[in-house]
Amino acid sequence: MLSGNNYLNMVKPCWKASVEGDEHARKPAYQTGRTDGLLWYKDLGSHVSGEFSMAVIQANNLLEDQSQVESGPLSSLNSGPYGTFIGVYDGHGGPETSRFVNQNLFANLKKFASEDQEMSADVIKKAFLATEDEFLSVVREQWRICPQIASVGTCCLVGVVCNGLIYVANAGDSRVVLGRADRGVRGVSAIQLSTEHNASYASVRDELHSLHPDDPKIVVLKHNVWRVKGIIQVSRSIGDAYLKKAEFNREPLLAKFRLPEPFSKPILYPEPSISIHKLNPKDQFLIFASDGLWEHLSNEEAVDIVHNYPRSGIARRLVKAALQIAAKKREMRYSDLKKIDRGVRRHFHDDITVVVIYLDPPLTNRASVLSIKGGRGLPHSKKL
């Protein structure tokens, strides 16, 4: 993925009103987490289908991962769908798009669920596309004074647990894995529910070639990493306007983001891959995480950890397991890795967001209404 937040100080003055929203407003204690250095965590809380645990570790100078759990009404109608919404947004090129999605996607989902009077794959898709359009409008508005905002984007992973179903929508390379009770030796099996859009997968490269048959350089192997146009690893995202609209692929955008040849159709797409899973009594929990976790833990390793340890603090335990492996890969101690400050820390691991959702019967507890956003309280301004 792209890195760097070099232009945030330039962007911030024209960004505050339209993106940052009310993040400093007071919220009830049950809707907040705790911080410990670069770690944010909510060890255990309740949602309408069970319990949940969240954790975020910051590696970038500015946290690019954003996340949320919204539990209760999924529309503005009293008789509308009721359930739990989970969002993990792994930003790249800066934090602006992931922050925007964190503030707007769920509201769009509620709007379309109200219009359709139900939850559906179509409602979720419309919410993704509306959020994309709104962000591109912001890019257009800010183009003259903050052109680099056209190069910022985010992966977008969403889960909705509602009416005995799990809807999973993904654009990018975050991942959700289901833990299901199994009579085998391990006691639980790992079932990946999301489809990833990363050029490292041959199927994604094939899709790109089929969409762009006249462009032999639509995917390029650069330093042993497959990248779309030699720039970015993901093929679907929210934002990244410079690879979707030709109007943004020109000056004053920095030269490193501008393509040498004009393009007539989008190179990246915002449409998510959506799957619907019917809940089984054996389905025990879901692990939603940005790719920073999956770089170090396999699906099976993550599921085994959640299965074998207490619920409280389980997301924090997954983050620690990933960091211990990241330290080992660099032949250093975990205790020494923890001393490395944000920014430099990105050379050792990515921002990591983990949300563990337990699926407990009965699957609708209307008393558990909540809204919580991950990472609040972590360093929010650029370190000089």
User: What span, in angstroms and rounded, lies between the C-alpha atoms of 258 and 226?
Assistant: 19
Is 165 in contact with 278 (CB distance < 8 Å)?
A: yes
Is 99 within the bounds of a domain?
A: yes
Q: What is the pLDDT of residue 381?
A: 65
User: What span, in angstroms and rounded, lies between the C-alpha atoms of 250 and 274?
Assistant: 33
Is 324 within the bounds of a domain?
A: yes
Is 360 within the bounds of a domain?
A: yes
Is 177 within the bounds of a domain?
A: yes
Q: Report how far Cα 328 is from the mean position of its chain's Cα atoms.
A: 26
Kindly state the helix (H) or strand (E) to which residue 41 belongs, with its residue range. strand 39-47
Is 163 within the bounds of a domain?
A: yes
Q: What is the pLDDT of residue 348?
A: 82
Q: What is the pLDDT of residue 8?
A: 42
What ranges in the chain are assigned the alpha helix state H? 8-11, 96-116, 121-142, 202-211, 291-294, 299-308, 314-329, 334-337
pLDDT in tens, the chain (384 residues): 444 443 344 344 344 433 433 333 333 334 689 998 999 999 999 999 899 999 999 988 888 999 999 999 999 887 889 999 999 999 999 999 999 999 999 999 999 999 999 999 999 999 999 999 999 999 999 999 999 999 999 999 999 999 999 999 999 999 999 999 988 767 899 999 999 999 999 999 999 999 999 999 999 998 999 999 999 999 999 999 999 999 999 999 998 899 988 888 999 999 999 999 999 999 999 999 999 999 999 999 999 999 999 999 999 999 999 999 998 998 899 888 888 888 788 888 889 999 999 999 776 666 678 999 998 888 866 655
Q: What is the pLDDT of residue 350?
A: 85
Is 129 in contact with 135 (CB distance < 8 Å)?
A: no
> What's the token pair of residue 47?
């949602």
Q: What is the CATH number of the domain that holds 261?
A: 3.60.40.10
Is 214 within the bounds of a domain?
A: no
Is 69 in contact with 370 (CB distance < 8 Å)?
A: yes
Burial of 67 (0-12, 13-18, 19+ CB in 10 A): buried
Tell me the whole-structure pTM to 2 decimals.
0.90
> What's the token pair of residue 332?
């250093």
Instruction: Write out 153-202 in H/E/C secondary structure.
Output: EECEEEEEEECCEEEEEEECCCEEEEEEECCCCCCEEEEECCCCCECCCH
> What's the token pair of residue 234?
């993901």
Burial of 343 (0-12, 13-18, 19+ CB in 10 A): middle
Is 16 within the bounds of a domain?
A: no
Best CA proximity match to 85, nearest among 298, 377, 380, 368: 368
Cis upstream peptide for 13 (omega within 30°) = no
What residue type is 140 in one-letter code? R
Q: What is the pLDDT of residue 335?
A: 84
DSSP state of 19: I
List the domain range (segments joined by +) for residue 54.
34-198+234-374
Q: What is the pLDDT of residue 382?
A: 65
Is 27 within the bounds of a domain?
A: no
Q: What is the pLDDT of residue 367?
A: 62
User: What span, in angstroms and rounded, lies between the C-alpha atoms of 202 and 210?
Assistant: 12
Q: What is the pLDDT of residue 61?
A: 87
Is 123 in contact with 112 (CB distance < 8 Å)?
A: yes
State how many domains the chain has: 1
